[in-house]
Amino acid sequence: MHVREGFHRIEIPTCLPIGEVNAYLFEGPPPTLIDTGPKTQEAYEALTKELRKLGLSIKDISRVLITHGHVDHHGLADVVRRDSRAEIIAPVGDAETVRNFREAYRHKRKATADTFLKTGVPPETLELVEGFFEYLATLSDATTISSTVRDGDVIDVGQCKLKAIHTPGHSPGSTCYRGPEGCLISGDTLIKDLVPVAAFGSAEGESIGLSDYMASVDKLERLGFTDVKPGHRAEFRDIPACTALIHSQFESRQSSIMEVLRNEPSTACDIIDRLYGMLPIQDIFPALTEVLGHLEILTAEGKVRCEDKGGLAYYSIARTGPV
C-alpha cells in the first residue's frame, strides 16, 4: 500500500495469532525495508510479490532496519541479506537475539519455563508453551548484523531522516522510528485497539518489563505524534485513544489482582483462574506474563509480598503498620 511518495506499507502473513505484520519500504536511496516478516515461504512470496508491484525485487533492497527481536518482524532478514547483500541494522538491546537466534530462543524458552514453573502452571500447559517456543524458533535464522541502532540515532533514507526512539517493554530493544513528515513507525509498542504484551521486555532483559513498557507509552505520548504506522493492523491517528486503552487496562488489571490477593495469598495461576477461568492456550502466555508483570510492579512498590512455598511463588498483600 502506498503511504506517501516513496514510502509504502507491505502486509506480510505471519501464521501466528497476531495475523499479518506490516513491513515498510522506503524507495530511498538506499532502498530500505523496515522489518521483514517471519521466515516462511508464504511470507517470502508475499514480500516478493509486493516489491514486484513497486518495480523492485528483494535483490534491490540495500538495507533492513529491524524494530525489535521478534520473529514476525525479523525472521526473513537473513534471507533478504543473502539474496541482496543488504546491510542489517538491529536495535542494540535485541541484537544478540537476532544474531544468535536459536541460542537466544533456547535461553528464552528456559527462562520462561523456570518462571512459569513457580506460577503453578500445570505441566501439560507448560509443555504447550514450550512447544510454541520451539515453533517460533523455526521462523528465523541466525542473522548477520552489520550495525546496531540506539536511542537518538538518525538514519538517512533519501530525503527522510529516521530517528530511533528506544521504547523497551515489548522486548528489551524495541525501537520506534520517527519517520517522514513526523509520523511514528511504532513496531509493536503502539497498535490500534490492542494492548501489546510486555514479556521479558525490560531494558535489562531480566524481568517482564511492564513498568518499562508503561514508561515507553508515556514517552511516546509526550512526543506528541499524530500519525502512527504500527507493526500490525491499520495505521491510526488517535494516539490518545490508543494510550487510554493501555492505561485503563493497566489500572483495571492491577485493581483486580489486588482484589484477588485481598481474599487470600495466591499464585499467578490462581489469580488467572479467578480473573478468567479457563483460557484458550494461545491466551495463557500473554495472560501469565501480564499478571507477572503487575506482580513485579506491586512487589517493587511494597504493596505485595512474595513468598516461596514448596517451589511456588505465593503473593499476598503486604501488611504495613506500626512496628
Residues that bind Zn ion (CB under 5 A): 72, 188
Q: What letter represents residue 139's amino acid?
A: L
Minimum distance from residue 70 beta carbon to Zn ion (Å): 5
Q: For residues 31 and 201, which CB has a smaller minimum distance to Zn ion in the complex?
A: 201
CA atoms of 70 and 47, how far apart (whole Å): 18
Question: 117, exposed or middle or buried, with CB in 10 Å at 0-12, 13-18, 19+?
Answer: middle
Q: Shortest distance, CB of residue 231 to Zn ion, whole angstroms?
A: 5
Q: Single out the residue of 225, 151, 220 nearest to residue 189, CA to CA.
A: 220
Question: Nearer Cβ to Zn ion, position 139 or 268?
Answer: 139
The x, y and z cell numbers of residue 190, run together, are: 503502539
Quote the CA–CA distance of 168 and 233 in Å, as a whole number: 20
Q: Are 201 and 213 in contact (CB under 8 A)?
A: yes
Which of 28/231 has CB closer to Zn ion? 231
Backbone angles phi, psi at 274, to 5 degrees: -70, -35
Least Å from the CB of residue 301 to Zn ion: 29
Minimum distance between the CB of residue 93 and Zn ion, rounded to whole angstroms?
Answer: 16
The CB-of-286 to Zn ion minimum distance in angstroms stands at 12
Q: How far is the CB of 272 from Zn ion (least distance, A)?
A: 23
Backbone φ and ψ for 314, nearest 5 degrees, come out as -105, 135
Q: What is the DSSP string of 254-308?
A: HHHHHHHHHHS-B-HHHHHHHHHSS--HHHHHHHHHHHHHHHHHHHHTTSEEEEE
Closer to Zn ion by CB, 67 or 211: give it. Answer: 67
